[in-house]
Amino acid sequence: MALRLGDDAPNFTAETTEGHIDFHQWLGTGWGILFSHPADYTPVCTTELGAVARMRSEFDKRGVKCAAVSVDPLASHQGWVGDINETQRCTMNFPIIADPDRKVAQLYDMIHPNADATFTVRSVFVIGPDKKIKLTLTYPASTGRNFLEILRVIDSLQLTAKYKVATPANWEEGQDCIITPAVKDAEIPGLFPKGARHIKPYLRYTPQPNR
């Protein structure tokens, strides 16, 4: 069955390019991203893994660990890492999970048979410190993902987990946030000392609270 927001992120053990992992133990107490790619030695996937490796410090800043998965075996992943490093100006710095028996792919519903019977689609799961699913994304094999967008969503998720705000369309770090509807006008001065702009009774903005 498909995983939905708020569901427990299934645990598993697996071989990876950085050794054997128990997924939940490996995640520890922070955030995580698990993303699938269709197959090793493929062009779009090569660029995606290189992009994430080059962005490692941005994920670290946010306390987010990254893991990729595909249904190819470990020896294939290990060989491919050399190509990723060579072609993408990076040094791979996060694990690629080997999933030749499709255990992880099935747990996370990453094979969409009407798209491809065998290979995983480009799924992304953002997992919170409570091991719950906070975001899911599914892209087709032909479209490489925008990992800056994934960082942007993580910024929003981490902010809205702490403050009674939501983030508007195309929001980026540093921009005004929306005060959640459950907050009463009378509570605003106490919760948002930087002030508020009232556009409509249900549309109230405040400067980003944690900056």
Active site residues per annotation? 45
Helix spans in 55-203 (H)? 56-61, 74-88, 103-107, 147-162, 188-191
Give the list of residues 6+ apart from residue 74 with CB closer than 8 angstroms, or none.
Answer: 15, 16, 17, 98
Q: Does residue 114 belong to the site contacting ligand BEZ (CB under 6 A)?
A: no
Stretch that binds ligand BEZ, among 5-13, 40-48, 93-101, 147-155 (CB under 6 A): 40-48
Stretch that binds ligand BEZ, among 35-43, 53-61, 169-177, 181-189 (CB under 6 A): 35-43
CB atoms within 10 A of CB 103: 16
| β-strand partners of 179 | 165
Exactly one of 141, 157, 166, 178 binds ligand BEZ (CB under 6 A); that residue is 141
Q: Does residue 45 belong to the site contacting ligand BEZ (CB under 6 A)?
A: yes
- Tell me the closest approach of the beta carbon of residue 43 to ligand BEZ, in angstroms: 4
Considering beta carbons, is residue 43 or 201 the nearer one to ligand BEZ? 43
Stretch that binds ligand BEZ, among 14-22, 41-49, 59-67, 166-174 (CB under 6 A): 41-49
Q: Does residue 95 belong to the site contacting ligand BEZ (CB under 6 A)?
A: no
Site size toward ligand BEZ (CB under 6 A) is 8
Q: First and final CA of the chain: distance in angstroms?
A: 40
CA distance to 18, 72, 81, 94, 147, per residue, from 41 (Å): 18, 10, 9, 17, 20
